[in-house]
Amino acid sequence: MMKKQRRNKHYLNESGYSLVGVLLLVVLISVLGLGLLTVTTTSVQTTTSERSDQSAFYIAEAGATVKMAEIEEIVAEEVQEFEKTKDQKDENDISSKIYHFYDVLTDRLIESKKSTEEYGLNFEETFGKPAEFDVSTNEDGDVQINSKELKGSKQFKIISTGAIGNQKRTVEQVFTVEYVPAKGGSGDGGGGGGDDNTGGPQIVPCMAAYVNDTIRMTDGAYIKGDFTNDEDKCGVQAGSIGTRKAGAGSITVSGGPTIEGSIYVPPGSEGNALTGDSETIRKLPKPAGKDMGELPKLPDFPPIPENYMIPPNKEVQKDGNKHLVIDSGNILVTHYAANNYVLEMENHIKLDKIEVNSDRKLYIDTKKSNKEIVVKDLNITNGHIFIKGEGKLTIYVENSITMGSGSSINKDGEVKQLNVFLKGSHDPKNPKTLKLGGDQKIFGSLYAEDANIEFGAGGGFQGNLLTGGKSIKLSGGSRTTSALVLAPNANVELSEGGMVTGAVIAQSLNMKGGAGITYKKIKLPIFGGPGDNSDSDEGKVEDPDLDPGEGRNKGSFKVTKKALREQSPR
């Protein structure tokens, strides 16, 4: 009995169980902790690697951009040398000199700078690791010469590798340097126009208005000129008008219009081109016969970049209220906390929408280099976008530009700081339309691929205006200033005080109701292109004071770039 009681006593003794429980708990926590530590460490390492990898891509992209800027300078220099030596009258000699041009250019491009150090750049260390790029230019094909048309082209490729420590990314960009031969006018009166009005050298006549078809001026319409141009250099009197349409009635006048310059028509049409009441005709200059050559063409519309990154979400707060000013690829300055938001651009970006309303302001800081934004919709119902920084800003709009109230873009800023490209609808039956009115302002150059343009009720535009659309209407005190309106497919209508300070080149021109053009000398290039990294370098080496006829005896070179892409995707 006693033995049984002692056994039960041992069984009922709980001393030491707590220690066992604690040990088991410690082991469990240790296992979980080690697992969590492993996962966290792996996540940190992955994040660090991804961060370095992305930074390496941006460094590679910077290398390609720097290289392209250098290439454009080299091409411009070699083109100037080419122009000094070529003889347009000897076609065989021209062909050989084109080959020589490409030989010299190829040598210079291959031997050009290749490293961060050679460019004198010093990137700050990224996460404690040195940042640098290596970039080279290689031939990507032989010289192609069209002996019949004397066209020449050669393709090159930029390869840029960015490195952050041991992390590397490589991008490449293919570009073509093309010789564009001189174009001669037929002198048959033109009037055709059509849609094949892109590409080719940009020779801009020194004229207030130059059209393919008809000019109509009524009800006090006027054309004035900046007569500081030397007519011997320009080939025509500054502030003149001209048409390529031969025959009677190509220029119609009534109601006291004023033309301070000359009137140019195709040879043989001097006696019947100008029609209207005799009193009005008597007060106007007598038409002079002159072969003005082809209407200048639009530069090639650049391809819209596809590889830009969407910026991360950004939250702002004010008075305890929070707002996502960048939300899933949309910039939304639609809350008082986002007013005066500064978008600091370190790289090119891609967006779905930019929206500014309620008279709020968005500042875009380009820092010290040219930047590009690709956006589907630019919607400024009542707001303002300002540009800060030393770089130029290029905005590619894929869908629409909407402006309301007194909205503005780059108001009172430098025109050369902003280029806007509006992608076309590519549907002739349903073209896009860009409207400005109600004191809306854009200070920059606009190239609409095929959109019609309507400016009214005080809407204003300062910069070059290019479109492949069929119609431009300026009315109600609207105006474009210091601008070239280049619309080779369009009927341009100025009415009710609509004004252009610059020049109009179009399919046809209709002016009425006190509308006017004040000619101002056009500065080349007529369109700066994307952030000075334009897909077309047309016009950069051509003289704006050339006689339009003389200009047709000079060819030019242009640089056409394909979109930057990663050579070896992750």
The string of pLDDT tens digits covering residues 437-475 is 767 888 999 999 999 999 877 667 788 899 999 999 988
Non-local CB neighbours of 322 within 8 Å, separated by 6+ positions: 315, 316, 337
Q: What was the pLDDT predicted at 297?
A: 84
Query: Do residue 247 and residue 356 come from a single domain?
Result: no
| pLDDT range class, residue 555, cuts 50, 70, 90 | low
Q: What was the pLDDT predicted at 137?
A: 78
| pLDDT range class, residue 325, cuts 50, 70, 90 | very high
Tally of structural domains, the chain:
3
Query: Do residue 561 and residue 541 come from a single domain?
Result: no
Q: What was the pLDDT predicted at 99?
A: 78
Non-local CB neighbours of 421 within 8 Å, separated by 6+ positions: 301, 302, 304, 394, 395, 396, 397, 447, 449, 530
| pLDDT range class, residue 153, cuts 50, 70, 90 | confident
Q: Which of 57-71, 272-286, 349-363 has the lowest mean pLDDT?
A: 57-71
With a cut of 90, say whether residue 119 has pLDDT above it: no
| pLDDT range class, residue 166, cuts 50, 70, 90 | confident
| H or E stretch covering 109 | helix 91-110
Q: What is the mean pLDDT of residues 323-350?
A: 95
DSSP state of 309: B
Q: Which of 6-15, 67-76, 538-547, 553-562 has the lowest mean pLDDT?
A: 538-547
Query: Of residues 289 and 19, which shows the higher confidence score?
Result: 289
Query: Do residue 360 and residue 487 come from a single domain?
Result: yes
Q: Which of 152-156, 309-313, 426-430, 467-471 has the lowest mean pLDDT?
A: 152-156
Q: What was the pLDDT predicted at 482?
A: 60
* Residue among 240, 244, 243, 233 nearest 207 (CA): 240
Boundaries of domain holding 111: 48-181+555-566
With a cut of 90, say whether residue 5 has pLDDT above it: no
Residue 478 lies in a domain: yes
Q: What was the pLDDT predicted at 186?
A: 33
Query: Do residue 274 and residue 248 come from a single domain?
Result: yes
Query: Do residue 129 and residue 82 come from a single domain?
Result: yes
| pLDDT range class, residue 145, cuts 50, 70, 90 | low
Residue 522 lies in a domain: no
Question: Which residues, listed in sequence order, are joined to residue 479 by a DSSP beta bridge?
Answer: 460, 499
Considering the chain, what is the average pLDDT of its residues? 79
> Rounded to an integer, what distance in angstroms lies between the CA atom of residue 210 and that of residue 487?
11
At residue 541, the 3 state secondary structure works out as: coil
**Do the bridges between strand 383-388 and strand 499-511 make them parallel or antiparallel, or are there none, so unpaired?**
unpaired
Residue 560 lies in a domain: yes
Query: Do residue 162 and residue 262 come from a single domain?
Result: no
Query: Of residues 226 and 54, which shows the higher confidence score?
Result: 54
Query: Do residue 323 and residue 291 come from a single domain?
Result: no
Q: What was the pLDDT predicted at 65?
A: 82
Q: How far is CA 503 from the centre of its chain?
A: 21
| pLDDT range class, residue 544, cuts 50, 70, 90 | very low
Query: Do residue 292 and residue 318 come from a single domain?
Result: no
What confidence tens digit (pLDDT) does each residue in 23-35 have? Answer: 888 888 888 877 7
Query: Of residues 251 and 196, which shows the higher confidence score?
Result: 251
Query: Do residue 259 and residue 361 come from a single domain?
Result: no
Query: Do residue 327 and residue 469 come from a single domain?
Result: yes
Query: Of residues 521 and 177, which shows the higher confidence score?
Result: 177
With a cut of 50, say whether residue 542 has pLDDT above it: no
Residue 438 lies in a domain: yes
Q: What was the pLDDT predicted at 475?
A: 85
| pLDDT range class, residue 306, cuts 50, 70, 90 | confident
Q: E-assigned strands of 140-259?
A: 144-146, 151-164, 167-180, 209-211, 215-218, 222-224, 241-243, 251-254, 258-259
Residue 502 lies in a domain: no
Residue 223 lies in a domain: yes
In percent, how much of the chain has pLDDT > 90? 34
| pLDDT range class, residue 226, cuts 50, 70, 90 | low
Query: Do residue 349 and residue 418 come from a single domain?
Result: yes
Q: What was the pLDDT predicted at 548?
A: 33
Query: Of residues 91 and 513, which shows the higher confidence score?
Result: 513
Residue 230 lies in a domain: yes
Query: Do residue 69 and residue 177 come from a single domain?
Result: yes
Q: Which of 68-72, 179-183, 551-555 has the highest mean pLDDT?
A: 68-72
Q: What is the mean pLDDT of residues 507-511?
A: 96
> Rounded to an integer, what distance in angstroms lies between the CA atom of residue 134 and that of residue 148?
40
Q: How far is CA 518 from the centre of its chain?
A: 26
Residue 249 lies in a domain: yes
Q: What is the mean pLDDT of residues 186-208?
A: 50
| pLDDT range class, residue 559, cuts 50, 70, 90 | confident
Burial of 7 by CB count in 10 Å (0-12 exposed, 13-18 middle, 19+ buried)? exposed
